[in-house]
A and B are shown apart, each in its own frame.
Chain A
């Protein structure tokens, strides 16, 4: 929650960027409910790409889909939601200029047009992006959606009272840094032009080849000015998607969606919208959600969850039961858990000490601590192991499966620690299997073999987050994790390794204090590319180059496993966020 409020006031580009990622990854991991409460509820993942399908015939139209969640759909206003790829539940109500690719079998990490006819037409240096709306787009009341509504929707997301969304727009749009929203400043943003009712042009202050990814976020949903009720808009936002909000109780704790009869599948290739009604119930405990989904009694038979993964113990139980095991969706979200070093703290200023730890780490015990090989994949790269991130396999300090203690001792000797050394590892006390005590203990055990005595410092969750993101209190050796707002190397590498993004007062995410001119220049150069495949390759190469500094020790990438009810059909798991897409689901 520190994120939401502070962002609008904060003008530093870096901070906002990092914050979103932080939120996105936490939400996606479904472990931190606080984040969701901050308005990020929708953020995680959806599907895009079909990997598995439970359907044997044409999916059934109609019925009620129940969604059992821990976190409420708080602040259900497109200006306030923080989503990756448009979100899970929000995407049923809000259409955006672009969205995730969701067709069955398609690469889900791709961006595809949604309200627009294409993913955007850039000028030569990617500082100007033009979109044209499809014809025949309508709101839930039958009125036409215009490009001015999209401009207005973006403008109102700048209003301080409607904060919560990603900070990129403020950083990227020309002259938007101080804009306070249309209520205070009705003239609007000059950086967004709407020459006619179907065309919208964005002027950016720097090249951003990944603008189409940003246009998937709910801030790009149209909002009719006449229907805008300010902070009350979240109670009944005007739908542009296949469902409209008929009831919103307790700030998104229970959300009832019914069909929007003015939505037409002809203008929307991405959403199937088979059920007639969606009943979102939240505020549940994760063990209750998994228990209800496995029992599949009554309405729970047609239930899914958009925020709760199976934990190790639940997986152990589910995998012992074939019928249950068949009802588990598996996916990947671009996310990395790693050890971070602060090179300003001794002895981590010595690269040989950092390398020694890289060699000594036992990734198999870390993976076990994270839930085992079905819930985590050992990582040797900082970028997630997916093509869209530009993943290039490398293992610069090969530790094998269980660590290379001999090599680590040798490096320590060279670094002047022939008798080993004692260090403190900072971690959080949350029970998320990410930065939690189990992972820290596994590392402690592995480093012992290399002569490194690890003392553990466990911090309460919020305290931990504040401590590691403040340059004044950042520890030398700590557990960290990072997830991207969209599946590309940019939002993964830039906030962490761009030297210009070191934030002296405020939330700093460049925890390794890397400020390498060649790295900064390469980040700028890649941002200019509008060929996303070419950009991905260069992000991968840059990742390997940065990896040589041993400022992090990548540990694992999580794997998401989620149960769904026994009468759920047409399961499509997204590559974008690794989980089942409610817009594709049918109920029996």
Chain B
């Protein structure tokens, strides 16, 4: 998948540069307006954006939401589970009632709504923070490789290759196992994900920078005596925005699943801090006896990853002039199709 993403992103980036070489069109006010217009034209992306915004809101407001519910994620409620039956929640649908909006956890009676929304903080927080690290590292090293001497380029590119080739899960497991137990786990997981998987974004950035470097406006800047840093900041970074944003939007869901997998394997955040991956681990054996226990974190993870992926795709489309033009045609067809169906309905009735 990452290969495909790389290519698509690179292609989108190249396409966005190809028709015009006017640097103002990408970062300028009109560029941003155009971007929003193209993004708004995609209904799926809009819905996804709303969902992502809601999820972020829920994660940020987790303590408030649980306070409204009157619960917290760690208190045990032994009276709400049937101890003789393995600790299955008492009552229908896993103990859903006015006090416990999504029921309680088997064996402990901890509130599932509270655990789910607090779990969102870990899942989204780790994923977003890791993405920031990946983007920062990838862009810095990608530009450095493209603009540096041949020796620097060779060195950085080989290092990048090594990081691309590293099996992320195995390396993460190894690193998480050797770090002292008192190091804060969410930070550690963030660092491990962020520092290990920045290779692809660095490659995309290097390729794009090499393309940009040869363009007239960059040459003009160089001829007028600008230093490398200033060129990178003022002339190259704006041109890199499209591929980087696109790539980052697709990295977030990938990071969420990695965090979930690490927590699932028991090396993620530590109990009693909830995370979706950890909830999935505990819940996987309960799929028959208490299905909602498994469905809640699985559903939350599914919705989040889907929304972020659709949003990322929408961003890519909005930044890609060719895709955007196809999009305009598409919306027209959809409107036509709707009109046709309406007409058909009228005739049949």
Interface residues of chain A, those whose CB is within 8 Å of chain B, are 287, 311-317, 319-320, 362, 364-365, 367-369, 371-375, 402, 429, 437-438, 440-442, 444-445, 455-460
Find out whether the CB atom of A312 lies under 8 angstroms from the CB atom of B106. Answer: yes
Q: Which residues of A contact B1 (CB under 8 A)?
A: none
Interface string of B177-219 (1 = CB under 8 A from A): 1000110000000000000000000000000000000000000
B74 at the interface (CB under 8 A from A): yes
**B contacts with A, residue count (CB < 8 A):** 30
Measured CA separation A444–B75 after assembly (Å) = 11
Q: Which residues of A contact B258 (CB under 8 A)?
A: none
Closest to A373 in B: B83
Q: Which residues of A contact B290 (CB under 8 A)?
A: 313, 316
Partner of A368, one of B74, B107, B288: B107
Q: If the complex has contacts A316-B86, A365-B108, are A445 and B270 also in contact, measured as CB distance less than 8 A?
A: no
Q: Which residues of A contact B282 (CB under 8 A)?
A: 438
Listed A/B pairs (19) with beta-carbon separation below 8 Å: A311-B86, A316-B82, A316-B87, A316-B286, A319-B86, A368-B81, A368-B87, A372-B81, A372-B86, A374-B83, A374-B85, A429-B266, A438-B108, A438-B271, A441-B272, A444-B272, A445-B75, A445-B76, A458-B266
Find out whether the CB atom of B76 lies under 8 angstroms from the CB atom of A365. Answer: yes
Q: How far is the CB of B188 from chain A (nearest CB, A)?
A: 13
Find out whether the CB atom of A372 lies under 8 angstroms from the CB atom of B266. Answer: no
Find out whether the CB atom of B108 lies under 8 angstroms from the CB atom of A315. Answer: no
Partner of B86, one of A365, A371, A445: A371
B165 at the interface (CB under 8 A from A): no
Interface string of B270-292 (1 = CB under 8 A from A): 11100000000010011111100
B167 at the interface (CB under 8 A from A): no
Find out whether the CB atom of A368 lies under 8 angstroms from the CB atom of B83. Answer: yes
Find out whether the CB atom of B266 lies under 8 angstroms from the CB atom of A374. Answer: no
Partner of B74, one of A314, A440, A445: A445
Find out whether the CB atom of B85 lies under 8 angstroms from the CB atom of A368. Answer: no
Closest to B177 in A: A460
Q: How far is the CB of A270 from chain B (nearest CB, A)?
A: 34
Q: Which residues of B contact A375 (CB under 8 A)?
A: 86
Q: If the complex has contacts A320-B85, A364-B83, A372-B82, are A312 and B181 also in contact, measured as CB distance less than 8 A?
A: no
Find out whether the CB atom of A445 lies under 8 angstroms from the CB atom of B106. Answer: no
Find out whether the CB atom of B288 lies under 8 angstroms from the CB atom of A372. Answer: no
Q: Which residues of A contact B88 (CB under 8 A)?
A: 313, 316
Closest to A319 in B: B85
Find out whether the CB atom of B289 lies under 8 angstroms from the CB atom of A317. Answer: yes
Give me 16 other A-B pairs in contact (C-beta within 8 A), A317-B289, A429-B266, A438-B282 excluded.
A312-B107, A313-B106, A315-B85, A316-B86, A316-B106, A319-B85, A368-B76, A368-B83, A371-B86, A372-B81, A372-B83, A372-B84, A372-B87, A373-B84, A374-B86, A458-B270
Q: How far is the CB of A221 from chain B (nearest CB, A)?
A: 38
Q: How far is the CB of A53 from chain B (nearest CB, A)?
A: 23
Q: How far is the CB of B182 from chain A (nearest CB, A)?
A: 7
Q: Which residues of B contact A368 (CB under 8 A)?
A: 76, 78, 81, 83, 87, 107-109
Measured CA separation A570–B288 after assembly (Å) = 30
Measured CA separation A527–B83 after assembly (Å) = 40
Find out whether the CB atom of B285 lies under 8 angstroms from the CB atom of A438. Answer: no
Measured CA separation A438–B216 after assembly (Å) = 63
Find out whether the CB atom of B76 lies under 8 angstroms from the CB atom of A311. Answer: no
Closest to B89 in A: A316
Measured CA separation A362–B77 after assembly (Å) = 12
Interface residues of chain B, those whose CB is within 8 Å of chain A, are 74-76, 78, 81-88, 106-109, 177, 181-182, 266, 270-272, 282, 285-290
Q: Which residues of A contact B87 (CB under 8 A)?
A: 312, 316, 368, 371-372
Q: Which residues of B contact A441 (CB under 8 A)?
A: 108, 271-272
Measured CA separation A287–B266 after assembly (Å) = 20
Measured CA separation A314–B288 after assembly (Å) = 8
Measured CA separation A313–B81 after assembly (Å) = 12
Find out whether the CB atom of B181 lies under 8 angstroms from the CB atom of A458. Answer: yes
Q: How far is the CB of A319 from chain B (nearest CB, A)?
A: 5
Q: Which residues of A contact B85 (CB under 8 A)?
A: 315-316, 319-320, 372, 374
Q: Which residues of B contact A372 (CB under 8 A)?
A: 81-87, 107
Q: Which residues of B contact A314 (CB under 8 A)?
A: 86, 285, 289
Q: How far is the CB of B6 from chain A (nearest CB, A)?
A: 35
Measured CA separation A373–B86 after assembly (Å) = 7
Measured CA separation A368–B105 after assembly (Å) = 11
Q: Which residues of A contact B285 (CB under 8 A)?
A: 287, 311-314
Q: Which residues of B contact A438 (CB under 8 A)?
A: 107-108, 271, 282
Q: Which residues of B contact A367 (CB under 8 A)?
A: 83
Measured CA separation A369–B282 after assembly (Å) = 11
Measured CA separation A155–B182 after assembly (Å) = 50
The 5 closest A-B pairs by CB, nearest first: A312-B86, A316-B289, A315-B86, A316-B88, A316-B86
Find out whether the CB atom of A456 lies under 8 angstroms from the CB atom of B81. Answer: no
Measured CA separation A314–B107 after assembly (Å) = 13
Closest to A401 in B: B78
Q: How far is the CB of A220 from chain B (nearest CB, A)?
A: 39
Q: How far is the CB of A497 from chain B (nearest CB, A)?
A: 29
Pick the most buried of A316, A373, A440, A445: most chain B CB atoms within 10 A of its CB: A316
Q: Which residues of A contact B108 (CB under 8 A)?
A: 365, 368-369, 438, 441-442
Q: Which residues of A contact B182 (CB under 8 A)?
A: 455, 457
Q: Which residues of A contact B288 (CB under 8 A)?
A: 313, 317
Q: Which residues of B contact A362 (CB under 8 A)?
A: 76
Q: How far is the CB of B110 from chain A (nearest CB, A)?
A: 9
Q: Which residues of A contact B75 (CB under 8 A)?
A: 445
Q: Which residues of B contact A455 (CB under 8 A)?
A: 182
Measured CA separation A442–B270 after assembly (Å) = 14
Q: How far is the CB of A370 from chain B (nearest CB, A)?
A: 9
